[in-house]
Structure 1
Amino acid sequence: MLRGAVARRYAQALYEIAQEKNALEAMEQELKGVAEAIEGTRELQKVLYHPQVLPGEKKNLLKALFTDKVSDETLNFLGLVVDKRRENYIAGIAAEFSVLANEARGKVAAEVTTAIEIDEKQKQELVKVASRMAGKEVEPTFGVDPSLIGGVVVRIGSKVIDGSIKTRLATIKSRLMSKTS
C-alpha cells in the first residue's frame, strides 16, 4: 500500500510539471522508456537499487544513459527521485503517471490477456468491447498467457472480466466437487 502511495505522490508531482510545460505526452513516453530500460536491464537495476552506491553515482549513470533521450525536466525529476532514495519506485511512478495522463485524456488503461497471440482485427474488437464496458476510451496493453487455455481476461482498473477457459474449468470443477461432498 505504501509503495503505491509513494509512487502516486511522485507521479502527481511530475504530472503537474508536465501540465505546466504542456508536455504530458512527451514526459509520459520518456518516463515509460526510462522505466522499461531499468526494468529490462539487470545490471542497471543492480547499480540503481544497491543501497551502497552513492546517489551522485546513480545520478551520473542516469545522466550518461538518458541525457539525449529525455527532457531536462524528466532528468531532473529522476535526480530528485534518486536524492530521495526512491529509485526503486521508478517503474511504479511511470505506471501511476500513465494513469494520471490517461485520466486527463479521458482514457482508462486496460490489460488484455489471451491464451494465444491475436491479430490486429481481434485486438481492435476487444478494445471496442472493453471501451463500452468501461464507459471510456481504453488504452490497452496486450499479453499472452497460455495457461488460460482459451478465452480472454480483461483488467480495467480494479475490475476483472475473466472469460478464460481456465477459470470456467475451475468453476465447473468446484461445482462438481461441492455436489459430490
Structure 2
Amino acid sequence: MTVTQEPQIRPVSGVAQRYARALYDYASEQGAISDVLRQVRGLREAIGQSADLRVFLRDARLDERRSAEVAGALMEKLGFGDALRRFVGVIASNRRLSELVSILDGVIALDATLRGEVVAEIRSTQPLTDMQRSQLQGRLAEAGYSRVSMIERTDTSLIGGMTVRVGSTLFDTSIAGRLTRLQNAMKGAA
C-alpha cells in the first residue's frame, strides 16, 4: 500500500454544495434529517450499483419536464420519501441530474462535518460488501481516523484493489496505482 500526500481535492462543486446544504437544512427544519440521510445513502448506493441509472443521470438529451417525470417515477418506484423525491424533481427541473451523485456526496460530507467526522472517499472496482466496509473502518481507525464517514465510488479503471482518500492523504492499493509506480520506477532506472 502506498500513502501519498496530495493537495486536497474538493469532491463536491460549489453548485453541488449549495444543493446539498439546501436539502440538509430543509430536512433539519422538518425534523427528518436522520430519515433523509438514510435515504440519501440508499439512493447513492442504488446509483453506484446501477449502470443504467448512471447513464440516465448523464443523459443531457432529455428536456427538463421529461427528466423530472422519469426521475420522479424512479424515486417513487425505489420507495424514497416525499422530501427526497421532490428534491430530486427540483434537481431534474433545473437540469442538474448529472450532478446528483456529487450533491448526495455533499449531503453526506456536510453531515459528517457537522458531527465532527472525517470524510473518506473510497474508490473500488466493485461496490464494497458490509464485511469489507467494516474491515476498512477498522483499518482507518488504526491509522488514526476513528470518526469516519465513507463515500463509496465505483471506478473500473483501477483494475483491482482500491484507493482511499482522507483529506489530502491517499492510500492506494489499486493495481493501476501499482502499475503506474512500477512504470515510474522503470523510467528512473533507465
| TM bucket normalised to smaller | 0.5 to 0.7
* CA RMSD after TM alignment: 4.0
- Alpha-carbon distance in 1 for matches of 2:171, 2:11: 27
For residue 12 of structure 1, report the CA deviation from its aligned partner.
1.1
Aligned equivalents of 1:119, 1:78: Cα separation in 2: 27
Closer/same/farther in 2, CA of residues 38 and 175 from structure 1, 3 Å limit: closer
Q: State how far apart, in whole Å, the 1-side matches of 2:177 and 2:25 are.
A: 41
AA aligned opposite 1:20: E
Matched, 1:58 2:67: yes
Cross-structure match for 1:8: 17
In the alignment, the residues of structure 1 paired with residue 123 and residue 58 of structure 2 have an alpha-carbon distance, to the nearest angstrom, of: 31
Q: CA deviation at 1:19?
A: 1.6
Summarize deviations over 1:118-148 as a string: whole Å, max 9, x none: 994x864542341353544123459896655
What's the counterpart of residue 7 of structure 2? none
Percent identical among aligned pairs is 24
Normalization by structure 1: what TM-score? 0.68
CA distance in 1, matches of 2:76, 2:105: 22
Q: 2:38 aligned with 1:33, yes or no?
A: no
Report how far residue 56 of structure 1 moved.
2.0
Q: Distance in 2 between matches of 1:32 and 1:129?
A: 22
Match of 2:138 among 128, 134, 137: 128
Residue 6 of structure 1 and its aligned partner are, at CA, apart by 1.4
Pick one of 66, 81, 88 that aligns with 1:78. Answer: 88
Alignment of 1:29-178 (within 5 A): 29-38=38-47, 40-42=50-52, 45-46=55-56, 49-51=59-61, 53-67=62-76, 69-110=79-120, 111=122, 120=131, 124=134, 126-140=136-150, 141=152, 147=160, 153-162=163-172, 178=188
CA–CA separation in structure 2 for the residues paired with 1:65 and 1:86: 16
CA contact (8 A) 1:12 1:100 kept: yes
Tell me the distance in 2 between the aligned counterparts of 1:84 and 1:166: 37
Instruction: Name the larger-Rg structure.
Output: 1
Alpha carbons of structure 1 residues 77 and 138: separation in structure 2 relative to 1, 3 Å: same
Distance change >3 Å, CA 65–CA 155, structure 1 → 2: same
Is the alpha carbon distance of 1:14 and 1:134 closer, same or farther for their aligned partners in structure 2, counting shifts above 3 Å? Answer: farther
Deviation at 1:33, TM superposition (A): 3.4
Higher relative contact order (Cα pairs below 8 Å, separated by 6+ residues): 2
Give the TM-score taking structure 2 as reference length: 0.65
Give yes or no for contact 1:108–1:137 (8 Å, CA) kept in 2: yes
Displacement, 1:163?
6.0
Q: Secondary structure at the match of 2:18?
A: helix
Distance 1:58 1:118 in 2: 31
Given the superposition, is the C-alpha separation of residues 147 and 26 from structure 1 closer, same or farther in structure 2, using an over 3 Å criterion?
A: same
